[in-house]
Amino acid sequence: MVTLSELLKEISYECICGTTDKEITDVIYDSRKVTAGCLFVCISGAKADGHRFAADAVRSGAAALLTEQEVELPEGTDATVIRVKNTRYALAFVSAAWFGHPAEQMQIIGITGTKGKTTTTYLVKSVLEQTGRKVGLIGTIEIIAGDTHIHAENTTPESYLVQKYFRMMADAGCDTVVMEVSSQGLMLHRTQGFVFDFGIFTNLEPDHIGENEHKDFDDYLHCKSLLFKQCRVGIVNADDSHWRKVTKDCTCQLETYGIDQEADLRAEDITFLNEGGSLGMAFRTKGLTEFSVKIASPGKFNVYNALTAIAICRHFDVDEKAVRKALSEAKVKGRTEMVPVSDEFTLMIDYAHNAMALKSLLETLQAYKPHRLVCLFGCGGNRAKSRRYEMGEVSGNMADLTIITSDNPRTEEPQAIIDDIKTGIAKTSGKYVEICDRKEAIAYAIDHGEPGDIIVLAGKGHEDYQEINGVKYPMDERELIREILEERA
């Protein structure tokens, strides 16, 4: 246990009542989890305000409250009330202190950007582990701390969880952490309480703008820029037109990488590879380090991901041979993930679940000049109908055949969602079939695959479930493919 004064050491605060010279048994920010002797942090959330539960928290045994506004307490309580300007910001520093500042025991790499974060984190982990380093990971798919894998709820977890995971990683012997840093995470101060050794910017496109996210693009850009006031070395994509704004007034040393613009590290002689149904890329680095690279993932955006990983890992004195080996073998679940089915055609799983991502993916695959480009996808229920129209139109325009199926219908009727997608396809001359059951749709794609086809199963990616009427049923496309092949055998 630690004293309240020790937890508050790095923040500015006012003690409204009580004393800071008391032992704290836990740090809690969910009123349902209050325990005797804890510090309860009153967070103003999107759905509920923790200040409303302050009195209940004290009745449940909270020894102290961290607040940013007045709270009513039960009569006769000796609970301490601490006032700060922003409880989310304070929670980050309190959490770091509670877990013993674990970030100071490791090197921390943070990657922000609209696209590429997930793939790049896994590439960096793969490369650094070739050198014998032990790397923890926090991202969209999962948290990895040694042998422990935890399903991720948010790209960047709440600050308390970030510090908890850091502590798990340090205790598991990790010397490095690579993590995705979302704009929401930066906006909500989830990554405060420590300094990143390396901050990386991949790219910026309009996204996450709307209710409970960012009010406009400028706000989105501003939040991304916060990373470069909280890192020692910034590594940015010079090909993205926003990089100068993102790094304006930064407090870190800056490096650039890119393909089309002058940069400290560049990729040149880019080649598209199609070897036995497996798609990849080859290129050569120029500038800060120079060697040839092959990657087992298609498209120019994967060259960017690999180049980002190289830009980061060169700071760790990684041997060129180890970099080449790691990049040639690295695969990321649900991100242009190829599943061996036939030597005659390519089958791929990808997370593209909006029009922008689907367009980018299909443009990439068109560059391989397939016999046919076949796109199988559905859309999630209880989401904007515009997404369905847009994805239908993109696939109708770009794929030779679209197979419309179900995704996560949630509380909507799957057929109603399919009909909305067809509204979008109707604006094009694209051919399509509709098969509501996703396994049947995948079986159809495999059974009708032709030599030279590229078939992409879009939308589910790393997900291993299908959500129907509030229940998540197990459904992993890799398992569905395996079952289909066994049934055909």
DSSP β-ladder status, 2-3 and 23-24 = antiparallel
Residues 13 and 393: their CA atoms lie apart, in Å, by: 54
Residue 74's CB is within 10 A of a number of other CB atoms, namely: 11
Higher pLDDT, 277 or 383: 383
Give the Å distances, CA to CA, from 98 to 1, 6, 50, 156.
Answer: 9, 9, 20, 19
Interval 174-203: pLDDT, tens: 999 999 999 889 989 999 999 999 999 999
- pLDDT for res 95: 98
DSSP β-ladder status, 176-180 and 107-112 = parallel
Q: What percent of the chain has pLDDT over 90?
A: 87
* Whether the Cβ atoms of residue 384 and residue 420 lie closer than 8 Å to each other: no
* Whether the Cβ atoms of residue 326 and residue 126 lie closer than 8 Å to each other: yes
- pLDDT for res 279: 95
pLDDT band at 47 (very low <50, low <70, confident <90, very high): confident
Interval 299-308: pLDDT, tens: 999 999 999 9
Residues 129 and 132: their CA atoms lie apart, in Å, by: 5
Mean pLDDT along residues 153-181: 96
- pLDDT for res 208: 47
Interval 318-365: pLDDT, tens: 999 999 999 999 888 999 999 999 989 999 999 999 998 999 999 999
Residue 9's CB is within 10 A of a number of other CB atoms, namely: 11
- pLDDT for res 330: 87
- pLDDT for res 1: 77
Mapping DSSP onto H, E and C, the string for 246-303 reads HCCCCCCEEEEEECCCCCCEEEEEEEEEEECCEEEEEEEEEECCCCEEEECCCCHHHH
Find tokens 């923040």 and name the residue: 11
Q: Is the pTM of this model over 0.85?
A: yes
Residues 122 and 135: their CA atoms lie apart, in Å, by: 10
How is residue 143 written in tokens?
A: 């948290």
Residues 166 and 101: their CA atoms lie apart, in Å, by: 9
* Whether the Cβ atoms of residue 105 and residue 170 lie closer than 8 Å to each other: yes
Higher pLDDT, 354 or 489: 354
Interval 243-289: pLDDT, tens: 999 999 999 999 999 999 999 999 999 999 998 778 999 999 999 99
Mapping DSSP onto H, E and C, the string for the chain reads CEEHHHHCCCCCCEEEECCCCCEECCEECCHHHCCCCCEEECCECCCCEHHHHHHHHHHCCCCEEEECCCCCCCCCCCCEEEECCCHHHHHHHHHHHHCCCHHHHCEEEEEECCCCHHHHHHHHHHHHHCCCCCEEEECCCEEEECCEEEECCCCCCCHHHHHHHHHHHHHCCCCEEEEECCHHHHHCCCCCCCCEEEEEECCCCCCCECCCCECCHHHHHHHHHHHHHCEEEEEEECCCCCHHHHCCCCCCEEEEEECCCCCCEEEEEEEEEEECCEEEEEEEEEECCCCEEEECCCCHHHHHHHHHHHHHHHHHCCCHHHHHHHHHHCCCCCCCEECCCCCCCEEEEECCCCHHHHHHHHHHHHCCCCCCEEEEECCCCCCCHHHHHHHHHHHHHHCCEEEECCCCCECCCHHHHHHHHHHHHCCCCCCEEECCCHHHHHHHHHHCCCCCCEEEEECCCCCCEEEECCEEEECCHHHHHHHHHHHHC
Residues 167 and 98: their CA atoms lie apart, in Å, by: 10
Mean pLDDT along residues 44-66: 93
Phi, psi (rounded to 5 degrees) for 414: -55, -40
pLDDT, the chain, mean: 94
Interval 388-434: pLDDT, tens: 999 999 999 999 999 999 999 999 999 999 999 999 999 999 999 99
Give the Å distances, CA to CA, from 467 to 11, 89, 407, 436, 437.
Answer: 42, 34, 8, 14, 13
Interval 115-156: pLDDT, tens: 889 999 999 999 999 989 999 999 999 999 999 999 998 889
* Domains of the chain and any CATH numbers: 2-98 (3.40.1390.10), 102-329 (3.40.1190.10), 337-488 (3.90.190.20)
